[in-house]
Structure formats: C-alpha cells, structure tokens
C-alpha cells in the first residue's frame, strides 16, 4: 500500500510523466517486494533488502504508537 501511495505522489509531482507499479512476486520477501515494486528496473542489492527488512522489523516492534496497547 505504501508503494502505491509513493507512486501516486511521484506521478503527481512529475506531471504524469512516469507512472509504474510492478506486480509483487510471491517468491520475494516483503522487503524485496517493496524494493522490486519501487524501482523502475526492479533491481536492488541483498544488502538493501536486509537493511529494509531490519528497518521494517524495528518499526513494527518499536514504532507506530503506544506499544503497551499490544501487551497481553
């Protein structure tokens, strides 16, 4: 969903000159799919995918609101 938002915003800023959304690939991880869908050539390094994966995990565990909401 965030990729679609980014693409729509980029399309708006560039007067509709470049609008692409690549289909997600089921064999890729979430981080790999985000990079695949965001890039025109769908290319990324394994280091980029690992860094994004760690950032997504850290955000899910520690960010985005009051963490005590999720305790049992």
Q: Domain residue spans in the chain?
A: 2-63
Q: What is the pLDDT along the chain (72 residues), one digit of tens a residue?
A: 677 777 777 776 766 555 677 888 999 999 999 999 888 889 999 999 999 999 988 877 766 556 565 555
Tell me the whole-structure pTM to 2 decimals. Answer: 0.62
Please tell me the distance from the alpha carbon of residue 40 to that of residue 64, in angstroms, as a whole number: 29
Q: Which residues of 3-42 are buried (b: 16+ CB within 10 A; e: fewer)?
A: beeebeeeeeeeeeeeeeeeeeeeeeeebbbbbbbbeeee
CB 18 within 8 A of CB 29: no
| Contacts (Cβ under 8 Å, ≥6 apart) of 10 | 18, 19
């Amino acid at each position: 969903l965030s990729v679609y938002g980014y693409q729509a915003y980029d399309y708006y800023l560039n007067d509709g000159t470049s609008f692409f959304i690549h289909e997600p690939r089921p064999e890729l991880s979430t981080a790999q799919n985000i990079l695949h869908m965001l890039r025109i050539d769908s290319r990324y390094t394994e280091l980029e995918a690992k860094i994004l994966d760690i950032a997504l995990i850290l955000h899910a565990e520690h960010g985005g609101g009051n963490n005590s909401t999720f305790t049992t």
